[in-house]
Amino acid sequence: MAAADRLDLPAVGERQSLREQVAQALRAALIAGEMRPGVVYSAPVLAAQFGVSATPVREAMLDLAKEGLVEAVRNKGFRVTELSDRDLDELTELRRLIEVPTVARLAGTMEAAAFERLRPIAEEIVVAGEAGDLLAYVDADLRFHVELLALSGNARLVSVVRDLRNRARLYGLSQLSERDALGDSAREHLALLDALAGGDGEAVARLMDEHIGHVRGIWAAHAGS
């Protein structure tokens, strides 16, 4: 593989199974836009980049195919699934319907300390955003939103939102980073925590709605570029 075609993939270690680690790394690369829609990726080539055998990579790609993130291409590899504007609009609508009221209800119903425990992750997002580290940004952003929603006590809801976020890959992140605007998006997480800790449900709902809307705006800007 030519140097220009190499993906910015994190290393894999031993704490999880190789299959799980590879799947997690590939999800991050998909969400950050490192792996491009319509492009076919070969399991052996990706395995060489990870420094592992092709088997766990192929298994991980099959897991991603079940999630709708990629599709198998016979005798070639896996193609990243493309999303239309309508797909993105529908995913955004679903996120708004689920996340905005769920997070808003948390305000005033939990101790501020519960939200403060998420502040280190929010700060990770800011650091990654200001550094333009897309994969670190995506990883911390997903952890933040999943752990925030987990405070609702609804595991099924968390699973649904995780799936929606995985499917709605942030295609425009790299362009946002190039415009030095990723830090602005990252700081929205801190403002959200402040509103939650203050028990201001209306502000929380507004901030969540705006945050999800900004994500859709990133996609729109990317599609029009």
pLDDT for position 223: 46
pLDDT for position 42: 94
Given the structure tokens 């809307």, which residue do they identify?
213
Judgement on whether residues 23 and 102 belong to the same structural domain of the protein = no
Any idea what the CATH number is for the domain that residue 32 is in?
1.10.10.10
For residue range 144-169, list pLDDT tens digits in order: 999 999 999 999 999 999 888 877 65
For residue range 186-220, list pLDDT tens digits in order: 899 999 999 999 999 999 999 999 988 876 665 55
pLDDT for position 3: 52
Count the domains in the chain: 2
Q: Which residues of the chain have pLDDT under 50?
A: 15, 221-225
In a domain, 197, yes or no: yes
In a domain, 119, yes or no: yes
Residue 12: partners with Cβ closer than 8 Å, 6 or more residues away: 18, 21, 22, 25, 50, 51, 52
Last residue of a domain, one of 48, 80, 112: 80
pTM for the model stands at 0.74
Largest CA distance in the chain: 56
For residue 118, give its domain range: 85-221
pLDDT for position 181: 62
